[in-house]
Amino acid sequence: MPTTIFVAVAGSVADSRFAVIDFSDSAKPTTVLVPSPFPTGCVVDCSNNLGNQAVGTLADSTSALAAVGDYTGGTLAIYNLLNPAAPALQSSFDTGLSGIGAVAFDAQSGNRLVVGSANGANFVLMDISKPPSSAIVSTCNAGGSFVSGGVYSIALSGTTAFASGQGAFVWIDFSNPTSPQPAAFEQAGPNNLKGLVALDFDGGTLAVGDGSGNVYTFDRNANFTGSYGTGLGNGISSVAVETGMSAEIAAGFVGDGTIWLFSVPPPSPPVSSTQVQIWSGQGPNPGGALAFFGLPYLFASSVTGSTVTLLDEFVWPSKTKLGVASGVTLAQSEQPTLGATAFNPLRGCLSMLLGRGGPRRR
């Protein structure tokens, strides 16, 4: 039995299924397509039970979860990934939203997550360790630039969440979980944000990409820290960040099979950004979504190629591919989502025998 199982979960707002990819054998990853309970499409994320700790301190497998949100409805389904070949529906929750545009687990807790509306400025903070009837901790409305569109991407770490939409992002302060305080931003330094905005936040660094092809960075208090160009001239539809000695950022565009890797701030002497080709075939949407599971593991999905690639970024930035999973045949979408998690199966089995573990169905 492998000591660590790495799992990626991919979703499409145009497909009611989601894909679960088991990278236990990175050279021969396996993919299963799981029918969701939703009629049209879904968005996904995974609990990150690594946090800021070493791989050796992984939580047990009962905390390795996938959240699957209904893009046209308000239901959020939680799946246990103990057996990646047959993910088990653990529980479901009514968020009260009319559609879910993005969902994110708290990077510091496997029980809390934040959900953003697909067609408005509404946000819901949830604690899925509670019964479905009392799982909603609080709701808020960001107003402003989000009124005319929905939430495209979202991230949560501790008491701080960031979410993005058309031409803006919003910072939500959950210091008082029952009374969240949102504040919207339409600028990155001196520049107005353009088009659809994508972001990621790891608890230390916020990375924001927009239609200009630039990546902007901020600290956890939304203070602007820098602007960085990429070769993605048509814009950025996905960004991932992980802070080690510096902030390591991956950026991609759904219409481009190339992802860009760079450090913020650049090291001295500076190292040029690295391009990684994740798909070189034909099709209108060769790119996809990006997700770190702690350095050195970076996952990249390809819409047209129907693949998910696991990249080894132990020496950043690197083009080393640990594995490429095929069969991720979800419907093409300009809003793909991707989550990643890992667990120790031996600890998971022991926890179940002893009656311990993460949230259970109630």
Q: What is the pLDDT of residues 264-276, one digit of tens each?
A: 987 766 667 899 9
Q: How confident is the model at residue 222 (pLDDT cuts 50, 70, 90)?
A: very high
As given in the structure block, the two tokens for residue 257 are: 């099979």
Asked if 78 and 111 touch (Cβ cutoff 8 Å), the reply is no
Per the domain annotation, does 359 fall within a domain? Answer: no
Summarize the confidence of residues 103-117 as an average pLDDT.
Answer: 92
Per the domain annotation, does 25 fall within a domain? Answer: yes
Model confidence over 125-164: pLDDT tens digits?
Answer: 999 999 999 999 999 999 876 667 899 999 999 999 999 9
At 231 the pLDDT is 86
DSSP state of 296: T
Work out how many domains the chain is built from and give that number: 1
List helix spans (H) across the chain.
345-354
- The sign of the dihedral angle between the CA atoms of 14, 98, 116, 127 is negative
CA angle (14, 201, 57) in 5-degree steps: 100
Asked if 40 and 60 touch (Cβ cutoff 8 Å), the reply is no
Q: How far apart are the first and last CA of the chain?
A: 30
Domain that holds residue 257: 5-354
Model confidence over 280-299: pLDDT tens digits?
Answer: 766 667 889 999 998 889 99
At 330 the pLDDT is 93
Per the domain annotation, does 145 fall within a domain? Answer: yes
Summarize the confidence of residues 312-335 as an average pLDDT.
Answer: 91
Per the domain annotation, does 279 fall within a domain? Answer: yes
As given in the structure block, the two tokens for residue 190 are: 């001196």
Per the domain annotation, does 361 fall within a domain? Answer: no
> SS3 letters for 78-122?
EEECCCCCCCEEEEEEECCCCCEEEEEEECCCCCEEEEEECCCCE
pLDDT at 60 over 80: no
At 54 the pLDDT is 40
* Distances in whole angstroms, Cα of residue 9 to Cα of each of 134, 199, 221, 300: 27, 18, 30, 11
Q: Which of 360, 361, 354, 344 is closest to 61 using CA atoms?
A: 344
Give the CATH number of the domain where residue 24 resides. 2.130.10.10
Return the half-sphere exposure (C-beta side, CA atoms, 13 A cut-off) of residue 179: 1
Rounded to whole angstroms, the Cα distance separating 187 from 168 reads 7
Whose structure tokens read 């990643």?
Answer: 340
pLDDT at 76 over 80: yes
pLDDT at 240 over 80: yes
At 360 the pLDDT is 23
Summarize the confidence of residues 165-170 as an average pLDDT.
Answer: 93
Mean pLDDT of the chain: 87
Per the domain annotation, does 360 fall within a domain? Answer: no
Q: Hey, is 54 helix, strand or coil? A: coil
pLDDT at 57 over 60: no
Per the domain annotation, does 329 fall within a domain? Answer: yes
Per the domain annotation, does 261 fall within a domain? Answer: yes
At 179 the pLDDT is 97
At 355 the pLDDT is 37
Model confidence over 12-37: pLDDT tens digits?
Answer: 999 999 999 999 999 999 999 999 99
Model confidence over 40-55: pLDDT tens digits?
Answer: 999 999 997 654 344 4
